Amino acid sequence: MSTETQNIIIQKIAKSKISEVDFSNLAFGSVFTDHMYVCDFKDGEWQTPTIKPYGPISIDPSAKVFHYGQAVFEGMKAYKAEDDSIWMFRPEENQKRINFSANRLQMPSFPKEMFFDGLETLLKLDRDWIQKGEGNSMYIRPFVIATESGVSASPSKEYKFMFILSPAQSYFKGGGSDVKVLFADKYSRSANGGVGAAKAAGNYAGQFYPTHLAQEQGYQQVVWTDANTHEFLEEAGVMNVFFRVGDTLLTAPTSDRILDGITRKSIIQVAQDMGISVEVRNVRVSEIVDAAKNGTLLEMFGAGTAAVINPIAGFGCKGEDYTLPKLENSYAMLLRKRITDIQTNKAEDKHGWRYKVKE
């Protein structure tokens, strides 16, 4: 069946796959809902989008995404309230950032109205897949790929903008953090004047090998340092990073090397709202090592859409291993609770971050 709504062609699935899904046992990002949204860019403009059954796309082997890496994405979440209304968290930030990322790779912007119209229509169509309850959410993956055929190294003239949806549970199943990170001292994530601030696909592939080496040493992730001196702590590749020294929270300023994380800036705001001292400034490897040695480094945590806040239990640096104390009432847990309470309508939304999907 094909119908046209609000300039979107909608082809509904014959039979939902939802009964095959065990929502109590979801691996992150592995199960997708019944439908996906696709909008093609050609002849210099975005064409009429389609919502169709989720499934493989057909693409030429010479498509530029495979050869020249024009691919950007976002990560967002939607939540279902007790009254079945659907909510998102600061989605305008993701909408702006995917265009920032696209433009950095010489890809066209996707119009804000089409972004929200498409995403909300898709969320409502697959609304049964959004589970209520603590920790449940719908992970939303907007992405854009270059689809023009041809193996010459120039920007594509054709693109696909897509939304795919993956139901998610909380990263936290109780208990403390076992995550240990390694401070980078050889490999790097991004260059001054490079694409580190963009959510560009290529930024991730480059991290896998150094992360693999870290994993062989018993660390789960790498905290990247500046490529030039390795003296300053930047971000963890899939998360921004915060350090608590004494009662003060430290995090690096954004730059053309560091992603302007939405969870990151929400944490900074919420921490300030809660009266926690926050310093956004260059953070030296040496000061964090010193703080760990003298006992003032109380916490480290990552911040990102998928986990919201991911506590870090310890770190490795230049062959030494450092373990952080286990705290009751950690900033990580306080901030995570406050942000997830705002996201799920259990706390006052004084900054207007919650966004209700239009019925």
Which parts of this chain interact with a second copy (CB under 8 A)?
Answer: 27-30, 32, 36, 54-62, 65-71, 73, 75, 103-106, 139, 141, 143, 145-146, 149-155, 162, 164, 166, 184, 186-195, 200-206, 208-212, 227-228, 237-238
Residue 239 or residue 342: which is nearer to a second copy going by CB? 239
- Which of 227, 289 has the CB closer to a second copy? 227
- Residue 110 Cβ vs a second copy, minimum distance, rounded to whole Å: 16
Inter-residue contact 142 to 163 (CB < 8 Å): yes
d(CA 289, CA 26) in angstroms, rounded, equals 37
Measured CA to CA, the distance from residue 204 to residue 75 in angstroms comes to 14
Rounded to the nearest whole angstrom, what is the least distance from the CB of residue 47 to a second copy in the complex? 17
Question: With respect to a second copy, which residue has the nearer C-beta, 205 or 274?
Answer: 205
Give the residue with the Cβ less far from a second copy, 203 or 266: 203
C-beta of residue 130 within 8 angstroms of C-beta of residue 123: yes
Phi-psi region at 352: left, alpha or beta (left = phi > 0; alpha = psi -120 to 50): left
What is d(CA 239, CA 309) in angstroms, rounded to the nearest whole number?
9
Nearer to a second copy, 46 or 204 (CB): 204
- Give yes or no for a contact between 121 and 70, defined as CB atoms under 8 angstroms apart: no
Closer CB to a second copy, 39 or 292, in the complex: 39
Q: Which is nearer to a second copy, 221 or 330 (CB)?
A: 221
User: Least Å distance between CB 170 and a second copy?
Assistant: 15
Intra-chain end-to-end CA distance of the chain, in Å: 22
Query: Shortest approach of a second copy to residue 298 CB, angstroms?
Result: 28
Q: What is the nearest approach in angstroms of a second copy to the Cβ of residue 286?
A: 19
Nearer to a second copy, 199 or 354 (CB): 199
Picking from 91, 104, 109, 94, the residue whose alpha carbon sits closest to that of residue 45 is 109
Q: How far is the CB of 212 from a second copy (least distance, A)?
A: 5
SS3 sequence of 306-320: CCEEEEECEEEECCE
Q: Residue 140 burial by CB count (10 A; 0-12/13-18/19+): exposed, middle or buried?
A: buried
Q: What is the Cα–Cα distance from 74 to 166, expressed in whole angstroms?
A: 13
**Smallest distance, a second copy to C-beta of residue 141, A:** 5
The gap from C-alpha 152 to its chain's centroid, in whole angstroms, comes to: 31
> Between 28 and 132, whose beta carbon lies closer to a second copy?
28
Cβ-count burial of 31 within 10 angstroms (0-12 exposed, 13-18 middle, 19+ buried)? Answer: buried
Got the DSSP string for 223-288?
E-B-TTTS-EE-B-SSSEEEEEETTEEEEPPPBTTB---HHHHHHHHHHHHTT-EEEES-EEHHHH
Q: How far is the CB of 275 from a second copy (least distance, A)?
A: 34
Q: What is the largest CA-CA distance in the chain?
A: 67
Give me the least distance between CB of 160 and a second copy, in Å please: 9
DSSP symbol at 154:
S
